[in-house]
Chains A and B, each alone.
Chain A
């Protein structure tokens, strides 16, 4: 079985690219993550993740049109490759397997506790 390396932030980026479909470029990805997950994303971190994902072969990019907002610089659009999709699926499946392996009681208790503590 192949080992798919995927970090947490990398996974989020990969998923967001998938959400944005054909409109995935850096600023859009950033905005999307920020709005959905309510967390700030620094451009530098995002870039690093994108470059890594591309290096790993999960993403591919192409140059888009240049616009005035970007002072004439072209956008770089990202697309998930076949390998990327496999990696996403692999990540999802491994997680689900792990989820399933957790005894129900553990989850319930801790969830109740969580609920109690949050209500206090």
Chain B
């Protein structure tokens, strides 16, 4: 028999109203069949043509909704949704609290990430400002990148390169003493800045004008809070402050520098002042060292890669002045998260940490959604009958989907409200945890966007799957009572439980590793002793060198009279990374080599370390060969190096180094004799590798005074030191700190990361356990009768508990084992950034595994023991 063309038939069925469809279809088919006996082609053609001719208003079905007002139905969705939540309060609570916790964590972490990524955004030119840094090379071998570059570079770039609109140079002026009248302050952060700093960057003036505010020598622009500190008010234009090199006139007061910038300061001194107060320095000389943070304002749309190529070419053309060094530019927006160079103005954030936390946030959110999906589909059997009856009564599938989605909306919205409460209450704790300034995260649009996004995704994802599953039930089998939860759903639920516990186990394993690593760093043998070490900032040099020196000598003698003070030393620097702990950085030189050897043979970035004879004993450092400096002797031509330097200079052993001569590329006539080699110690944190160092004897008072103390009464010792200080250096503030505290600040970021991770891991465990608790209690409810029968037939409580727990524990175990290789990779990656790291012992993996299994056994057994102990009569008598 001939069949009419399928597509036309389908089209007809689609548009034609039901009233006429049967007849029209019948007629056309009849005509078609009759015609196709004679000419099949014509029949087909006619059929199609007829169908098209039927496509006119009288026969097209009405696409209008038949129910003009659907308000009633929506009301019903909400009413039923609300009732079904109330009907099973326990599950609803588990669902909502899990979701609320998840959403709150997510919002916290999103805000954290937003803040970390908001650095420099307040500059209106932020997208076009680049920082030029200096890559130090040894031949073709890259050594290190220095954030500071040469003073003449800025003007040269502006002159030579059309895309450079303007430049600004800032010269670090750390630890400056400021005098206002009789008041003295020690300011950690200030810069000598070009006047273009206000056109390139966007700082807002409160008083005075920024136009040319730093164009003349001895001008200063201070921030509002600094002005308050000095004068008690902010309108202080035309007042003067005494800072490095004399009096400075305040030309403007600006708003405080926001916390989210890498370039923080209390005041800016005019850059033109610097050559006037430091004779060795001129703006034009490439010989004055690379000490200038240089920022370029570029024409919008400049290709940074092409520009960097041009910078490389420019560097090559300056080879006679800067040797192998190369300039390179980076966007200032990338500095906070991606830049980790030497001499950063402040310790930067770490993109990895930020994205790790983002990942944790997504994990936690996923856990909460999984709970919802698991609990809703597990309860399918309960809802199946409802679905069946609804379908029989004429409910369309789309309406059922809407019904279940509405429930999901109710749950999600309530959870979101709870989450907002949690965020409101928990914000101060969270900010303390991450070390971010407390801020009103509610006022950021991104906060609300992410909340809405979470809600939408949550409703669609976590509500969508159960809605589709629940609405798909076949009413006949459901109402006949043949319905059983599908095997497919079971697999999914088990898969999701595995996912939850795998994620949680990974978190715990990583947490353990982070904790152990930080502990390890803190207890690491640094090659020196920094406990009970009191550091004083050296006094101002306000008198002639000789008087000053003799004062220091008497200060030292006085201090050593106190039995608790064992050694007193003076040095320009002390252990601890400058950028992190706010300490003075050492100056560095490349190209140090043995006298008589090839100039390019071995050249690294050597740190110069001016010390006195007591430095090495003060830190209990050990000499692996040679001797220490001797006080009062001629030490001018002697140096001590560390083992790293001995290696990089090409000595085979420390013993060989002793007695050898070294010289410097920039001071070729200067020959130094190595008299000792000190064992490597971690000048900076053990995160980093050892750096080659050259110690020179420098008896002139500078930098820091180190007091090695042995006492139980530190207060008394400090008091004693202060009394003597005030006697001898009345014009300098007495400021001190404990070295171990300062040194440990270098791990602050890691420790903070650990604490944040710990907090969120705990939350993740709680959410996962909530889900497991709900799921197990529900499954047990389904098996109440089975348990009753087993007990009647003689099953013991232990057997039943085992039987019920086994299923869950099995999957948790699978999850934990899956988690091990993954976390192994993650930890390995993370640890690879440390020079000193823990060994990955099996315990790091086994302990979390045991913990997670124990926790889940505990969670499940609360339910199983209760069920197993229940009287079988109760469960069997009801039918």
Is B440 an interface residue when CB atoms closer than 8 A count as contact?
Answer: no
Q: How far is the CB of A46 from chain B (nearest CB, A)?
A: 9
Interface stretch, picked from B26-34, B201-209, B466-474, B667-675, is B26-34
Is B66 an interface residue when CB atoms closer than 8 A count as contact?
Answer: no
Q: Are B23 and A43 in contact (CB under 8 A)?
A: no
**Residues on A with beta carbons closer than 8 Å to the beta carbon of B28:** 43
Is B247 an interface residue when CB atoms closer than 8 A count as contact?
Answer: no
Q: Are A73 and B31 in contact (CB under 8 A)?
A: no
In-complex Cβ contact of B25 among A42, A51, A71 (8 A): A71
Q: Are B27 and A43 in contact (CB under 8 A)?
A: yes
Provide the A1-41 mask, 1 if CB < 8 A to any CB of B, else 0.
00000000000000000000000001100100000000000
Is B698 an interface residue when CB atoms closer than 8 A count as contact?
Answer: no
Q: Are A44 and B54 in contact (CB under 8 A)?
A: yes
Provide the A48-69 mask, 1 if CB < 8 A to any CB of B, else 0.
1001000000000000001011
**A73 with B22, Cβ < 8 A, contacts A43-B31, A43-B50, A44-B50 known:** yes
Cα(A76)–Cα(B34), bound, Å: 18
Q: How far is the CB of A56 from chain B (nearest CB, A)?
A: 14
**A47 with B24, Cβ < 8 A, contacts A42-B50, A42-B53 known:** yes
Q: Are B23 and A27 in contact (CB under 8 A)?
A: no
Is B58 an interface residue when CB atoms closer than 8 A count as contact?
Answer: yes
Provide the B816-850 mask, 1 if CB < 8 A to any CB of A, else 0.
00000000000000000000000000000000000
Cα(A44)–Cα(B28), bound, Å: 10
Majority-rule SS of B interface residues: helix
Give the A-B pair count, Cβ closer than 8 A. Answer: 55
Q: How far is the CB of B85 from chain A (nearest CB, A)?
A: 48
Is B56 an interface residue when CB atoms closer than 8 A count as contact?
Answer: yes
In-complex Cβ contact of A47 among B1, B20, B34 (8 A): B20
Cα(A69)–Cα(B1), bound, Å: 9
Listed residue (B25, B26, B29, B59) with the most chain A CB atoms within 10 angstroms of its CB: B26
In-complex Cβ contact of A26 among B4, B27, B34 (8 A): B27
**A48 with B27, Cβ < 8 A, contacts A73-B22, A74-B22 known:** no
Q: How far is the CB of B250 from chain A (nearest CB, A)?
A: 93
**Residues on B with beta carbons closer than 8 Å to the beta carbon of A100:** none
Q: How far is the CB of A66 from chain B (nearest CB, A)?
A: 8
Cα(A66)–Cα(B30), bound, Å: 11
**A73 with B56, Cβ < 8 A, contacts A42-B50, A43-B31, A43-B50 known:** no
Cα(A15)–Cα(B58), bound, Å: 24
Is A70 an interface residue when CB atoms closer than 8 A count as contact?
Answer: yes
In-complex Cβ contact of B29 among A44, A70, A76 (8 A): A70
Cα(A47)–Cα(B54), bound, Å: 9
**A51 with B26, Cβ < 8 A, contacts A27-B31, A42-B53 known:** no
Q: How far is the CB of B39 from chain A (nearest CB, A)?
A: 15
Q: How far is the CB of B32 from chain A (nearest CB, A)?
A: 9
**A73 with B20, Cβ < 8 A, contacts A42-B53, A48-B58 known:** no
**Residues on B with beta carbons closer than 8 Å to the beta carbon of A85:** none
Cα(A70)–Cα(B720), bound, Å: 115
Cα(A73)–Cα(B58), bound, Å: 21
**Residues on A with beta carbons closer than 8 Å to the beta carbon of B56:** 44
Cα(A66)–Cα(B24), bound, Å: 13
Provide the B25-57 mask, 1 if CB < 8 A to any CB of A, else 0.
111111101100000000000000010011010
Cα(A26)–Cα(B25), bound, Å: 12
Q: Are A73 and B53 in contact (CB under 8 A)?
A: no
**Residues on B with beta carbons closer than 8 Å to the beta carbon of A73:** 22-23, 25-26, 29
Q: How far is the CB of A31 from chain B (nearest CB, A)?
A: 9
Q: How far is the CB of B215 from chain A (nearest CB, A)?
A: 89
Cα(A73)–Cα(B54), bound, Å: 18
**Residues on B with beta carbons closer than 8 Å to the beta carbon of A76:** 23
In-complex Cβ contact of A74 among B20, B26, B53 (8 A): B26
Q: Are A75 and B26 in contact (CB under 8 A)?
A: yes
Cα(A56)–Cα(B25), bound, Å: 24
Q: Are B53 and A44 in contact (CB under 8 A)?
A: yes
Q: Are B33 and A69 in contact (CB under 8 A)?
A: yes
**Residues on A with beta carbons closer than 8 Å to the beta carbon of B22:** 73-74
**Residues on A with beta carbons closer than 8 Å to the beta carbon of B54:** 43-44, 47
The chain B residue sitting closest to A48, CB to CB, is: B58
**Residues on B with beta carbons closer than 8 Å to the beta carbon of A69:** 29-30, 33-34
**A71 with B26, Cβ < 8 A, contacts A27-B31, A47-B20, A48-B58 known:** yes
**Residues on A with beta carbons closer than 8 Å to the beta carbon of B26:** 66, 70-71, 73-75
In-complex Cβ contact of A71 among B23, B29, B59 (8 A): B29
**Residues on A with beta carbons closer than 8 Å to the beta carbon of B23:** 26, 47, 73-74, 76
Cα(A43)–Cα(B23), bound, Å: 11
Provide the A69-93 mask, 1 if CB < 8 A to any CB of B, else 0.
1110111100000000000000000
Q: Are A27 and B58 in contact (CB under 8 A)?
A: no
Q: Are B53 and A70 in contact (CB under 8 A)?
A: no
The chain A residue sitting closest to B22, CB to CB, is: A73
**Residues on B with beta carbons closer than 8 Å to the beta carbon of A48:** 58
Cα(A26)–Cα(B24), bound, Å: 9
Cα(A51)–Cα(B23), bound, Å: 12
**Residues on A with beta carbons closer than 8 Å to the beta carbon of B59:** 44, 47
Cα(A74)–Cα(B56), bound, Å: 23
**Residues on B with beta carbons closer than 8 Å to the beta carbon of A26:** 23, 27
Report A98-113 residues with CB < 8 Å from chain B CB.
Answer: none
**Residues on B with beta carbons closer than 8 Å to the beta carbon of A47:** 20, 23-24, 27, 54, 59
**Residues on B with beta carbons closer than 8 Å to the beta carbon of A68:** 1
Q: How far is the CB of A104 from chain B (nearest CB, A)?
A: 44
Cα(A76)–Cα(B22), bound, Å: 9
Cα(A43)–Cα(B22), bound, Å: 14
Cα(A75)–Cα(B4), bound, Å: 18
**Residues on B with beta carbons closer than 8 Å to the beta carbon of A51:** 20, 58
Cα(A26)–Cα(B50), bound, Å: 14
The chain B residue sitting closest to A61, CB to CB, is: B23
Q: How far is the CB of B539 from chain A (nearest CB, A)?
A: 108
Cα(A71)–Cα(B27), bound, Å: 10
Q: How far is the CB of B700 from chain A (nearest CB, A)?
A: 110
**Residues on B with beta carbons closer than 8 Å to the beta carbon of A74:** 22-23, 26
Q: How far is the CB of A83 from chain B (nearest CB, A)?
A: 22
The chain B residue sitting closest to A76, CB to CB, is: B23
Q: How far is the CB of A102 from chain B (nearest CB, A)?
A: 37
Cα(A75)–Cα(B59), bound, Å: 18
Cα(A75)–Cα(B27), bound, Å: 8
**A70 with B30, Cβ < 8 A, contacts A43-B50, A44-B54, A48-B58 known:** yes
**Residues on B with beta carbons closer than 8 Å to the beta carbon of A42:** 50, 53
Q: Are A70 and B58 in contact (CB under 8 A)?
A: no
**Residues on A with beta carbons closer than 8 Å to the beta carbon of B29:** 69-71, 73
Q: How far is the CB of B380 from chain A (nearest CB, A)?
A: 38
The chain A residue sitting closest to B25, CB to CB, is: A73
Q: Are A27 and B50 in contact (CB under 8 A)?
A: no
**Residues on B with beta carbons closer than 8 Å to the beta carbon of A75:** 26
**Residues on B with beta carbons closer than 8 Å to the beta carbon of A71:** 4, 25-26, 29
Cα(A73)–Cα(B26), bound, Å: 5
Q: Are A27 and B27 in contact (CB under 8 A)?
A: yes
Q: How far is the CB of A44 from chain B (nearest CB, A)?
A: 4
Listed residue (B29, B30, B34, B53) with the most chain A CB atoms within 10 angstroms of its CB: B30
Cα(A74)–Cα(B54), bound, Å: 19
Q: How far is the CB of A35 from chain B (nearest CB, A)?
A: 14
Given contacts A43-B28, A44-B53, list 9 more A-B pairs with CB under 8 A.
A26-B23, A43-B54, A48-B58, A69-B29, A69-B34, A70-B27, A71-B25, A71-B26, A75-B26
A to B CB contacts below 8 Å, 18 in the list: A26-B23, A27-B30, A43-B31, A43-B50, A44-B50, A47-B23, A47-B59, A66-B26, A69-B33, A70-B27, A70-B30, A71-B25, A71-B29, A73-B23, A73-B25, A73-B26, A74-B22, A74-B26
Which 6 A-B pairs rank lowest in CB-CB distance, beginning with the nearest? A73-B26, A70-B26, A44-B53, A71-B29, A26-B27, A70-B30
A interface vs B, CB < 8 Å?
Answer: 26-27, 30, 42-44, 47-48, 51, 66, 68-71, 73-76
B interface vs A, CB < 8 Å?
Answer: 1, 4, 20, 22-31, 33-34, 50, 53-54, 56, 58-59
